[in-house]
């Protein structure tokens, strides 16, 4: 349960170390989970681990004992296929027992192949790409209407930015001056069919968001300190929404998965898992 | 007979409900003047969001608002509400069973001169097949008002199908028929006329045509029962089986494709329960075109006369 103050700027080495340690554990847990279930987007989850760790264990305000708490910060995983990292984070936060992780993608599980309302802590179903930012727009508008100070965080993949729906939402968020939204793009430069710049070029990506009226930051999405600082800056921004382009590596943390797109949409074999866990020790 | 467009009744009842229920928020996709949501916008500017010409974002934004306790009512033309944003409705409204109301105007071919791009003859079918979705088609302005009040009280996703042109009033003020007060219940069809020879099951603007057809048939000594199925889903299975048993022949009538709409729904029920002669009045698997609403309804076979002919056919086939 992170009740940490959003304005806390003292990112001591202790804090960074603790979060990095957590992130490493999440990498292990999500790899074990996906290998056990025999499927799942392990490599897409690995690139978002550090971002999600920072959000759930430092930045966001929430209460797992009361998932519907009106003043909670909202989190939307627009790249729903990255859910393995969300599930391990929600379990660690206390939304459900860790034993549930073993049921991921199995019949009757509360942890579906893509996030849905069966999972405590999930705000809206995702998996059909390009819709999470629109959901955030709705949550942010409600927050403004009710004079609440909660913040809405959305993690998007870069590949899903191909969807026109994302840009409809980007336009609306800027138009309604939704400074209570922070979008984080997990910029790992890969989509299913190959490198984003070969399949459907996105660059210059920051310029695109800026042209849509957003406050834009670009960071190393695996540098915990940069993540924390940018999230803090985002909350301080008034009058416009913020997008953090987090440059990441698909499969981050496992040398033979990093940057190898053949691992998209699959789990590691038992042998690969053993190797990966050794690396993550 | 007095004529009022269902969208006009909608605009008025929205203001009334907005006054009573502060959780109601309204979203429109740049057609608020046409859908009549502008009336709500004028009265409650803070609770109205024009989302521009972006239906996909509008639907999911509404879903997001609903997760925060709001009751979003979303309006645009029926063709764009359903066909343009179908996956968004499925993924973020119907699947999580969120409390979003989609109230679409300009359904069917009576949209008129704008032509096929702005008409929809398949919205009932595609919304009906979606799990968790309730589908409502009011017969006139009066039923629109009671229907909209009912869906706001109901928790869950709803699609309401309204139209552009002024249409005859079927009911009397206060939701009465033949002087008797009625109660609008989601999922309960309304019997408007007794008769033992055949039942005309109608929805939307075809209810008025069904009643006219029944009057013509009475002169030929065919007594037609007329029921108004204002809720296509969940459909009133009980009354449909009952009228099939009691009258032995069925004609359905809707301003929609004969595939997958009211006719399809009734056929699905009958095939499992009772075999009676049946014909479907509707649009025969075609796109529309430009023209006056009246001219189009005539050309596409959606008049009382078409219903009369179908009734004569099924009555002859009764065993």
Per-residue pLDDT of B51-62, as tens digits, reads: 999 999 999 999
CA atoms in the 13 A half-sphere facing the CB of B203: 33
Examine domains B3-168 and B187-316 and report if their fold is the same.
Answer: yes
A48 three-class SS:
helix
The whole-number pLDDT of residue A9 equals: 55
* pLDDT range class, residue A259, cuts 50, 70, 90: confident
Mean pLDDT of B183-201: 98
| Domain boundaries defined on chain B | 3-168, 187-316
Between CA B97 and CA B76 the distance in angstroms is 21
- pLDDT beyond 70 at A4: no
From A199's Cα to the closest Cα of chain B, the distance in A is 23
* DSSP state string for B106-150: S-BSTT-TT-GGG-BSSHHHHHHTSTT-EEE--SSHHHHHHHHHH
Q: Looking at the domain covering B187-316, what would its CATH class be? A: alpha beta
- pLDDT beyond 90 at A7: no
Question: What does DSSP say about strands B24-28 and B176-177: parallel, antiparallel, or unpaired?
Answer: unpaired
Does B63 contact A123 at a Cβ distance shorter than 8 Å?
no
pLDDT tens-digit readout, A128-182: 999 999 999 999 999 999 999 999 999 999 999 999 999 999 999 999 999 999 9
First to last CA, chain B: 38
Contacts 24+ apart (CB under 8 A), A203-207: A205/A158, A205/A161, A205/A245, A206/A245
Question: A172 contacts in B (CB within 8 Å)?
Answer: 51-52, 54, 57, 61
Does A172 contact B54 at a Cβ distance shorter than 8 Å?
yes
* DSSP state string for B56-78: HHHHHHHHHHHTTT-EEEEESBH
Q: Which CATH architecture has domain B3-168?
A: 3-Layer(aba) Sandwich (3.40)
Between CA A51 and CA A220 the distance in angstroms is 10
The whole-number pLDDT of residue A5 equals: 42
CB contact at 8 A, B40 and A149: no
Between CA A131 and CA A159 the distance in angstroms is 13
Does the CA dihedral A87-A91-A96-A97 come out positive or negative?
A: positive
* pLDDT range class, residue B1, cuts 50, 70, 90: confident
DSSP secondary-structure letter at A267?
A: P
Between CA A24 and CA A279 the distance in angstroms is 10
The whole-number pLDDT of residue A281 equals: 85
B227 three-class SS:
strand
Mean pLDDT of A88-108: 97
In chain B, the percentage of residues whose pLDDT exceeds 70 is 100
Question: A119 contacts in B (CB within 8 Å)?
Answer: none
Question: What does DSSP say about strands B231-233 and B134-136: parallel, antiparallel, or unpaired?
Answer: antiparallel
Interface of A with B (CB under 8 A): 70, 74, 116-117, 123-128, 131, 134-143, 145-146, 164-165, 168-169, 171-172, 175-176
Between CA B204 and CA A196 the distance in angstroms is 48
The whole-number pLDDT of residue A1 equals: 36
Does A146 contact B46 at a Cβ distance shorter than 8 Å?
no
Does the CA dihedral A151-A154-A155-A159 come out positive or negative?
A: negative
The whole-number pLDDT of residue B199 equals: 98
* pLDDT range class, residue A101, cuts 50, 70, 90: very high
For residue A30 the two structure tokens come to 């999500």
For residue A249 the two structure tokens come to 């590596």
- pLDDT beyond 60 at A265: yes
- pLDDT beyond 50 at B183: yes
The whole-number pLDDT of residue A10 equals: 67
Q: Between B14 and A12, whose confidence is greater?
A: B14
Question: A126 contacts in B (CB within 8 Å)?
Answer: 91
The whole-number pLDDT of residue B3 equals: 96
Q: Point out the catalytic residue in the list B55, B143, B209, B254.
A: B55
Between CA A57 and CA A51 the distance in angstroms is 10
CB contact at 8 A, A57 and A20: no
From A160's Cα to the closest Cα of chain B, the distance in A is 15
For residue B68 the two structure tokens come to 């925060």
Does A134 contact B61 at a Cβ distance shorter than 8 Å?
yes
Residue of A nearest to B69 (CA): A142
Nearest alpha-carbon partner for A52 in A26, A31, A33, A70: A26
Between CA B78 and CA B82 the distance in angstroms is 6
CB contact at 8 A, B223 and B197: yes
Radius of gyration of chain A (CA): 17
Question: A146 contacts in B (CB within 8 Å)?
Answer: 68
- pLDDT beyond 70 at A41: yes
The whole-number pLDDT of residue B227 equals: 98
pLDDT tens-digit readout, B134-160: 999 999 999 999 999 999 999 999 999
Residue of A nearest to B72 (CA): A138
pLDDT tens-digit readout, B262-314: 999 999 999 999 999 999 999 999 999 999 999 999 999 999 999 999 999 99
- pLDDT beyond 80 at A119: yes
CB contact at 8 A, A103 and A111: yes
**Per-residue exposure over A212-235, b if at least 16 CB sit within 10 Å of its own CB, e if not:** bebbbbbbebbbbbbbbebbbebb
pTM of the model: 0.96
Q: How far is CA B112 from CA A5, B123, B124, B165, in A?
A: 58, 17, 19, 8
Q: Which residue ranges form the domains of chain A, and what is each CATH number?
A: 13-279 (3.40.50.970)
pLDDT tens-digit readout, B7-53: 999 999 999 999 999 999 999 999 999 999 999 999 999 999 999 99
Interface of B with A (CB under 8 A): 25, 46-47, 49, 51-52, 54, 56-57, 59-70, 72, 87-88, 90-92, 95-97
Active-site residue flag, B55 = yes
Between CA B281 and CA B255 the distance in angstroms is 8
Measured at the CA of A268, the angle between CA A267 and CA A273, to 5 degrees, comes to: 140
The whole-number pLDDT of residue A3 equals: 41
In chain A, the percentage of residues whose pLDDT exceeds 70 is 96
Radius of gyration of chain B (CA): 19
Nearest alpha-carbon partner for B149 in B243, B14, B27, B55: B14
Q: What mean pLDDT, rounded, does chain B reach? A: 98
CB contact at 8 A, B229 and B262: yes
CB atoms within 10 A of CB A145: 17
């Amino acid at each position: 349960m992170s009740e940490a103050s959003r304005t806390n700027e003292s990112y001591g080495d202790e804090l960074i170390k603790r979060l990095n340690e957590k992130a490493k554990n999440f990498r292990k847990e999500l790899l074990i989970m996906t290998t056990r279930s025999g499927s799942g987007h392990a490599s897409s989850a690995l690139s978002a681990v550090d971002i999600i760790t920072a959000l759930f264990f430092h930045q966001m305000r929430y209460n797992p004992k009361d998932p519907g708490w009106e003043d909670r910060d909202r989190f939307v995983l627009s790249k729903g296929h990255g859910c393995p990292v969300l599930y391990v984070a929600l379990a660690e936060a206390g939304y459900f027992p860790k034993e549930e992780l073993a049921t991921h993608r199995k019949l009757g599980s509360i942890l579906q192949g893509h996030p849905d309302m069966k999972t405590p802590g999930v705000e809206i179903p995702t998996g059909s790409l390009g819709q999470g930012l629109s959901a955030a727009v709705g949550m942010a508008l409600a927050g403004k209407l009710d004079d609440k100070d909660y913040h809405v965080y959305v993690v998007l993949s870069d590949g899903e930015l191909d969807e026109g729906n994302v840009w409809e939402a980007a336009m609306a968020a800027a138009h309604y001056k939704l400074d209570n939204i922070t979008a984080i793009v997990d910029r790992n430069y890969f989509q299913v069919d190959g490198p984003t710049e070969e399949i459907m070029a996105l660059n210059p990506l920051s310029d695109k968001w800026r042209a849509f009226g957003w406050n834009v930051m670009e960071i190393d999405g695996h540098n915990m300190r940069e993540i924390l600082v940018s999230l803090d800056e985002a909350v301080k921004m008034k009058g416009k929404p913020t997008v953090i382009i987090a440059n990441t590596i698909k499969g981050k943390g496992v040398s033979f998965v990093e940057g190898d797109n053949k691992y998209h949409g699959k789990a590691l074999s038992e042998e690969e898992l053993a190797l990966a866990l050794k690396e993550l020790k | 007979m007095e004529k009022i467009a269902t969208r006009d009744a909608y605009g008025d009842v929205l203001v009334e409900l907005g006054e009573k229920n502060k959780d109601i928020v309204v979203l429109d996709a740049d057609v608020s003047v046409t859908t009549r949501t502008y009336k709500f916008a004028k009265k409650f500017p803070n609770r109205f969001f024009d989302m521009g010409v972006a239906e996909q974002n509008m639907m999911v934004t509404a879903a997001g608002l609903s997760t925060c306790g709001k009751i979003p009512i979303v309006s645009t033309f029926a063709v764009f509400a359903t066909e343009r944003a179908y996956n968004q409705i499925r993924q973020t409204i119907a699947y999580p069973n969120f409390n979003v109301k989609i109230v679409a105007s300009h359904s069917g071919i009576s949209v008129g001169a704008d032509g096929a791009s702005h008409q929809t003859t398949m919205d009932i079918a595609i919304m009906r097949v979606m799990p968790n979705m309730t589908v409502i088609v009011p017969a006139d302005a009066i039923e629109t008002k009671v229907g909209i009040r009912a869906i706001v009280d109901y928790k869950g996703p709803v699609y309401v199908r309204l139209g552009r042109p002024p249409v005859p009033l079927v009911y009397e003020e206060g939701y009465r028929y033949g002087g008797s007060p009625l109660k609008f219940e989601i999922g309960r069809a309304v019997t408007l006329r007794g008769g033992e020879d055949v039942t005309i099951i109608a929805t939307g603007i075809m209810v008025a045509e069904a009643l006219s057809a029944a009057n013509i048939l009475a002169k030929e000594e065919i007594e037609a029962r007329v029921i108004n199925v204002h809720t296509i889903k969940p459909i009133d299975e009980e009354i449909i089986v009952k009228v099939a048993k009691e009258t032995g022949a069925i004609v359905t009538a809707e301003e929609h494709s004969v595939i997958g709409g009211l006719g399809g729904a009734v056929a699905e029920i009958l095939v499992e329960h009772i075999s009676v002669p049946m014909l479907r009045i509707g649009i025969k698997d075609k796109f529309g075109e430009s023209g006056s609403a009246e001219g189009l309804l005539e050309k596409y076979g959606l008049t009382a006369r078409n219903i009369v002919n179908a009734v004569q056919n099924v009555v002859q086939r009764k065993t």
